[in-house]
Structure 1
Amino acid sequence: MNGLSIRGLTRSFPGQGRAAPTLALQPTDLDVRPGEFVSILGPSGCGKSTMLRIVAGLDRPTTGSIHWNGQSVTRPGRERGMVFQSYTLFPWLTVEQNIEFGPRERGASAAEARDIAATFIARTGLRGFERHWPRQLSGGMQQRTALARALANDPEILLLDEPFGALDHQTRELMQELLLEVWGADRPEQRKTVLFVTHDIDEAVFLANRVLVMSARPGRIKTELSVPLSYPRDWMVKTSPEFAAMKARLMSDIREEVRRAALG
């Protein structure tokens, strides 16, 4: 099938000394359709970031397989773009140069890379900051740059690991709206596939077509919740009864798993 297909995925980490290995992920199956936006929630240590890193090709599964559009995933590839909570910008490059980096690495000319960077600088609200160094930017502006850099590579799927976790509440909400805009909330035919890891229930529901809840470690997908809210969305949807009902259900599931993790 086209899109993302995960089958029987597990990940076990070796123990230190005589300690037993730690099973981070139980056998996990997941399908994500092209253009779908899927959020993943779960208690700390449940394996959600581990699964994302395996999809990115940054880690290897212990067992199981991952396919993107029918091709086996075993290493990083330009069809998969990753954005981390830490901004991971090159401090020796300007905003514009950071965004140009991917296109230049894949063979674009200087003029082509500059044009690509200009497009995503405009789409992510970075005009006027092209010549700034990362250290001169606020956290929100650094994360805009990281998002623009990922998009400049024209990936088919975006993998986002708590990208707004370090931001203040107001900046975080603005970044959520920006992400929906660049994802193509009002342009269904242009939408990229997104797998988004977060601890924030409001964020998960606001952004996604579908929300997954993972159990306490060893992680497995415990709950799948379709989000029937239409796009484009603005912040007012968070005040609706439908939103409140979905949030309550997810909060109940997550509280149960957090208690399990705390009690061992």
Structure 2
Amino acid sequence: MGGLSIRGLTRSFPGQGAAGPTLALQPTDLDVAPGEFVSILGPSGCGKSTLLRIVAGLDRGTAGTVRLAGRQVTGPGPERGMVFQSYTLFPWLTVEQNILFGLRERKVPAEEARAIATKYIARTGLKGFENHWPRQLSGGMQQRTALARALANDPAILLLDEPFGALDHQTRELMQELLLEVWGADTPETRKTVLFVTHDIDEAIFLANRVLVMSARPGRVKAEVEVPLPYPRDWTVKTTVVFAELKARLMAEIREEVRKAALA
């Protein structure tokens, strides 16, 4: 089970000269239930990506603890799947080989690994592109491959750092729907826990059970907004009164923090 518990997490970076260290993340507490989909919003530089990288084990907090399924996070691990904004595929591997990479590193038997890869190739709409190289794919197809690669390792939690930020608007919306389709295909008992960082308010609402708003640097969770829209969701929920009300509330929260950051 992929329940996440963060207690007293801070992160400061060494400064130069008289400036001293820079506090990026104030003491932060956060709980994410197994199978929950949580989006994180906030102004640039508020510590969203720093928080995600610490959960991924790619960075370390200055103080505090991060626990996943009761175990303290001290470094990267296969129980955490990460997808970045940049296309982080291995250019010398085909789509299928990229998806198989983590499974082979874990020495999953070849037949089992291929069956897993085939499953996620189908789920992410990559059938027919198995032997393509990353350079032959559009941005959306590359991110489908990155998502399939992360899911193939069966992580307890999926960490997504603005994965659709570099895509055009239409492709981005299709990828949002694809992500919900893949996430929702599992039963409530086996569904992945997801922590999703974005600057896009519509995206945050459309995807998540709950949206967190972070303050201007030094970041902290200043607001939590539940999203009472039932799953499965499609684009039509963005036209509803409930969606508009949630968006207005979150825009007000974000606007206040952007102003603070601009005046700092």
* Shorter-chain TM-score tier: over 0.9
Q: Matches of 2:112 and 2:229 in 1, distance apart?
A: 38
Note the 1:169-188 alignment, pairs <5 A: 169-184=169-184, 187-188=187-188
The equivalent residue for 2:145 is: 145
Q: Matches of 1:3 and 1:130 in 2, distance apart?
A: 33
Q: Contact 2:55 / 2:66 at 8 angstroms: preserved in 1?
A: yes
Q: Matches of 1:57 and 1:235 in 2, distance apart?
A: 34
The equivalent residue for 1:76 is: 76
Query: Over residues 107-154 of structure 1, what are the superposed CA-to-partner deviations in whole Å (9 max), with x where a residue is unaligned?
Result: 112222211111100000001110000011000000000000000000
1:190 partner SS: coil
Q: Contact 1:186 / 1:231 at 8 angstroms: preserved in 2?
A: no
Task: Determine whether 1:191 maps to 2:215.
Answer: no
2:85 partner SS: coil
Letter in 1 for 2:31: D
The equivalent residue for 1:23 is: 23
Q: Contact 1:185 / 1:232 at 8 angstroms: preserved in 2?
A: no
TM-score, normalised by the number of residues in structure 2? 0.98
Letter in 2 for 1:260: K
Query: Over residues 204-263 of structure 1, what are the superposed CA-to-partner deviations in whole Å (9 max), with x where a residue is unaligned?
Result: 000000000000000000110000100000000000000000000000000010010011
Q: Matches of 1:23 and 1:262 in 2, distance apart?
A: 17
Aligned-residue offset at 1:20: 1.2
Letter in 2 for 1:79: E
Q: Matches of 2:2 and 2:240 in 1, distance apart?
A: 34
Letter in 2 for 1:255: R
Query: Over residues 175-213 of structure 1, what are the superposed CA-to-partner deviations in whole Å (9 max), with x where a residue is unaligned?
Result: 001101111267323311000000000000000000000
Aligned-residue offset at 1:55: 0.3
**Structure 1: 4+ residue segments shifted above 6 A:** none
Letter in 2 for 1:41: L
Q: Matches of 1:112 and 1:101 in 2, distance apart?
A: 13
Q: Contact 2:2 / 2:35 at 8 angstroms: preserved in 1?
A: no
Q: Contact 1:157 / 1:192 at 8 angstroms: preserved in 2?
A: yes
1:23 partner SS: strand
Letter in 2 for 1:162: E
Letter in 1 for 2:71: Q
2:19 partner SS: coil
Unaligned runs of 5+ in 2: none
Aligned-residue offset at 1:87: 1.5
Q: Matches of 1:162 and 1:224 in 2, distance apart?
A: 19
The equivalent residue for 2:206 is: 206
Note the 1:119-134 alignment, pairs <5 A: 119-134=119-134
Q: Matches of 1:94 and 1:67 in 2, distance apart?
A: 34
Q: Matches of 2:14 and 2:223 in 1, distance apart?
A: 28
Unaligned runs of 5+ in 1: none
Letter in 2 for 1:256: E
Q: Matches of 1:33 and 1:200 in 2, distance apart?
A: 23
Which stretch of the first structure deviates more once superposed, 102-111 or 161-170? 102-111
Note the 1:234-249 alignment, pairs <5 A: 234-249=234-249
Which stretch of the first structure deviates more once superposed, 178-187 or 103-112? 178-187
Between the two proteins, what is the percent identity of the paired residues?
82
Q: Matches of 2:87 and 2:254 in 1, distance apart?
A: 27
1:189 partner SS: coil
Letter in 1 for 2:213: V
CA RMSD of aligned residues (A): 1.2
TM-score, normalised by the number of residues in structure 1? 0.98
Q: Matches of 1:187 and 1:41 in 2, distance apart?
A: 27
Q: Contact 2:2 / 2:193 at 8 angstroms: preserved in 1?
A: no
Q: Matches of 2:121 and 2:17 in 1, distance apart?
A: 49
The equivalent residue for 2:54 is: 54
Q: Matches of 2:153 and 2:255 in 1, distance apart?
A: 38
Aligned-residue offset at 1:16: 2.5
Q: Matches of 1:173 and 1:186 in 2, distance apart?
A: 21
